[in-house]
Amino acid sequence: MSLQIASFRSRWRAFTDGAVTFLAILATVLVVAPLVAIFVYLIFKGARSLNVDFFTQIPKPVGEAGGGMANAIVGSGVLLGIASLLGVPVGIGGGIYLAEFGRGTKLATAIRFTADVLNGVPSIVMGIAAYSLIVLPQKHFSALAGGVALGIMMIPTVCRTTEEMLLMVPHAIREAALGLGVPNWRSVLSITVKTASPGIITGCMLAFARVAGETAPLLFTALGNSFWSTDLNREIAALPLQIYVYALSPYDEWHRLAWAGALVLIALIVMAVSLVRYVTSRGVLKGAS
Amino acid sequence: MPDIRISHPQVPSEPRVADAKQMAEAPRTEASAIRKFLLSRGNSAVADGFFHALIVLCALSIFGIVILIATELVLRSDLAWNKFGLSFFFKAYFDPGTGLPSYWDPVNGHFSALPFVYGTLISSFLSLLLAVPLAIGLAIFLTEMCPGALRGPLAFLTELLAAIPSIIYGLWAVFILVPLLREHVNPVLIKSLGWTGLFRDDNPTGLGYVSAAVILAIMILPIISSLTREVMTAVPHSQREAVLALGATRWEMIRMGVLRNARIGIVGAVILGLGRALGETMAVTMVIGNSAEINRSLLSNGSSMAAVIANEFAEASGDLHRSALIEIGLALFVVTILVNALARILVWFVTRGAPARVH
């Protein structure tokens, strides 16, 4: 009798083990499926409508075939330029503090924690902040406001990746520099940061790619524009904004352009992510991030 | 990697540097005695001081940003605070003529965030319901079962899933996911679960809470699963070996040895995913239907806090309207800060004593 119970239990245990293995594999398939679907559709639908016009023409009025997103690509470039001017130096500075000066202090722990929390704040809130900081006093939408909103979003990401990369630099290198009589600021900038620079640059690129796809903070700061504009004080077009407008429009021609824009955006992001993986898989920075 | 802090062990014999005892006992997080000595005799005190101040300023700017956002949001939403107070979030104005609730009426100046709070909560919790089992399953597969050759590519794929911008998820959802749900999933839900009243066949568009929840689930999956993976790899191998040595099957080992040790961190990962879902804007705006109503049916159109801001902010009809939208933004800010802080503390609680991360 007890033998029977034992054999039933062992069969039950073997069964649950197999069932869980099956469920885990099923979960993995279910997670990978939408990703594959998204990429297949992007490439399938985007590649068909991607042509030279897309990169050289500005949007045509409704009903006319053709047209492109040249103004949106340039506009995104302007916005990202402003964002990088603000986000990259401040973020790298913060990362240097966390890794070089504040290591182990309470202030550094608090800053690291705040940066992580700030990373989780919805991007639309950043948009409202930039709106009330810049758009309301100026009384008009502007590229500057959009750039500042994106720049604020870059700071915590750049700060944390810079810290992680700097932590991978061996102590002996710092000591060698100091031992030669190099002042501390010089040793940090020319030795530590330089050693970690491939990682820091790719970290910045990752942050760059991430904000390149942000739409919510631009909705009421940069606003979008269907004509050429590079004026910092005026509304400016941006790739994600244009995709948003086109995706919700009722015209097939515009849907086509939206898919093409999405393909361009995703190509930029895949490049950045792969680059980060490549850099962190070799040399001194192996294992970071 | 063994990191070498003391390059020349014979240096302590030099009395000017430091005594040997102090060096031997120095904790590993502190700068070594050599560094302290070299830093103290620097001949460029002005430049160093300036650089240090600059760097500290950069670091403090992160606090500055949080304070700046908070003050701006509070100051710019005072109109709505004064008019509606806290009841903004849970009370509706009832039209005296018809007796029907009027939640969001910019023309007559009646504002209540109730339908948006409801939409945000419903879509987020539905998405967690869908995403959490899948994320934990994926994490279990990647850490405990996956053959080594598959682990790298799969981890890379999920990382990529986290990097896709929400506008692209939205685009894909509008053109592929919503038609798919409308044609094949919603009829099944209505047929089999229609009796609960949660799935009513009154919305031919396919947009609504369910569509929003599905796309949200796809978006928060990689965040939950990568953090779950991190806390699961932080569980020491001795725990697994001990359970296996008692004759456990692999599932029993995972359940008793890994999940039980990592559970607080997994809860943290889920809460972090919740924080992301609460604030997600573009994809939700594109598929939730955007109507300021409260519907019992999960298939009907709704709206969320982030979606209403995205839709109406640029053309707000007046100061009160804008101020009400900023108040919703403030609520979103405070809630996501709290949720993220809680999640970070839970994850930190598990991984702090962990050995170096294994990839």
Q: Is the pLDDT of residue B155 over 70?
A: yes
What SS3 state is found at A210?
helix
Query: What are the residues whose beta carbons fall under 8 Å from the beta carbon of B241, sequence distance 6 or more?
Result: none
User: Hey, what are B202's tokens?
Assistant: 């009154």
Q: What is the pLDDT of residues B10-23, one digit of tens each?
A: 444 444 444 444 44
Q: Which residues of A touch B359 (CB under 8 A)?
A: 287
| pLDDT at position B288 over 80 | yes
Q: Is B356 helix (H, G, I), strand (E, B) or coil?
A: coil
Q: How confident is the model at residue B38 (pLDDT cuts 50, 70, 90)?
A: low
Q: pLDDT value at position B284?
A: 94
- What percent of chain B is modeled with pLDDT above 70? 87
Please give the distance of CA B202 from its chain centroid, rounded to a whole number: 33
Whole-angstrom distance, CA of residue B34 vs CA of residue A38: 55
Domain ranges of chain B: 45-76, 79-351
- Checking if the pLDDT of B254 tops 70, the result is yes
C-alpha to C-alpha distance for A272 and A277, rounded to whole angstroms = 9
- Tens-digit pLDDT profile for residues B183-199: 998 889 888 888 887 88
What is the ipTM, given to two decimal places?
0.89
- Chain A partners of B5 at a C-beta cutoff of 8 Å? 171-172, 175
In chain B, which residues have their Cβ closer than 8 Å to the Cβ of A270? 160, 163
| Residue contact A20–B54, C-beta within 8 A | no
For the record, the structure tokens of B183 come out as 């044609």
Q: Dihedral of the CA atoms A89, A95, A99, A104 (nearest 10)?
A: 130
Tokens of A44: 């399938």
- Residues in chain A predicted with pLDDT less than 70, given as ranges, are 1-3, 5, 282-289
The nearest CA of chain B is from the CA of A175 a distance in Å of 6
For domain B79-351, the question of CATH label 1.10.3720.10 is answered with: yes
- E strand map for chain B: 93-94, 101-102, 104-105, 110-111
Q: What is the pLDDT of residue A285?
A: 65
Calpha distance A144→A163 (Å, rounded): 28
| A40: nearest CA partner in chain B | B172
CB B231 within 8 A of CB B144: no
The residue ranking higher by pLDDT, B170 or B17, is: B170
Give me the pLDDT at residue A130, please: 93
Work out the minimum CA distance from A16 to partner chain B, whole angstroms. Answer: 7
pLDDT category, B43, cuts 50, 70, 90?
A: low
Closest CA to A241 of A143, A158, A118: A143
Question: Looking at residue B174, what is its pLDDT?
Answer: 93
Q: Is the pLDDT of residue B358 over 50?
A: no
Question: What is the value of pTM for the model shown?
Answer: 0.86
